[in-house]
Amino acid sequence: MTKSGKDVVSVLNHLIETCKDGQEGFKTCAGDIKNAELKSLFEKRSVECSTAAGELQEAVMALGGNPEDSTSFSGDLHRRWVDLKAMVTGKSEEAILNEAERGEDVALKAYKEALAEPLPANVYSIVERQYHGVQRNHDQIKALRNIARAS
């Protein structure tokens, strides 16, 4: 049995906030890092998060709901923490990658929780596809962090 339209909108709006948090988080990381390749990666991930949020916003509108269009309070706090930590640590690649991975951990959790909900098939397929993208991002950031840590 699927959730009511209002409940599905709530689940999707939570994911939209998560995507918006990722968009802003990756943008912050791109601004803090000196390595051109990592900067480019973070900028690309920021755009991907924006695209994912837009896709979820369209799904909310198709359900007759009002889509979220802002970041979460906890995401805002995390970005402030990242900025503060970057100032203290000298914006090391490892520290920035650690925080990026932490953000992706939060995103993975949000997507796993959403996939555990009884969503309509078309919505589930969007969420599942995006979940795999978040998992890929997480794994790549973790691998880069491990390389930075070993250096």
Per-residue pLDDT tens digits for 48-99: 999 999 999 999 999 999 998 866 555 555 555 555 555 555 668 888 898 8
Q: Which stretch of DSSP H or E encloses residue 124?
A: helix 121-150
Tens digit of each residue's pLDDT (9 = 90 or more) over 26-62 = 998 898 888 999 999 999 999 999 999 999 999 999 9
| CA-to-CA separations, 31 to 36, 82, 118, 121, 142, in angstroms, rounded | 11, 11, 39, 38, 19
Of the candidates 140, 32, 129, 126, the residue with the CA atom closest to the CA atom of residue 79:
32
Tell me how far apart the alpha carbons of residues 46 and 24 are, in angstroms, rounded to a whole number.
7
Q: Which long-range contacts (CB under 8 A, 24 or more apart) does 134-142 make?
A: 134/22, 134/104, 134/107, 134/108, 135/108, 137/45, 137/48, 137/104, 137/107, 138/101, 138/104, 138/105, 138/107, 138/108, 140/41, 141/97, 141/100, 141/101, 141/104, 142/101, 142/104
**How many distinct structural domains can be found in the chain?**
1
pTM: 0.86
Q: What is the CATH number of the domain that holds 42?
A: 1.20.1260.10
Tell me how far apart the alpha carbons of residues 77 and 53 are, in angstroms, rounded to a whole number.
20
Note down the domain range covering 129.
5-150
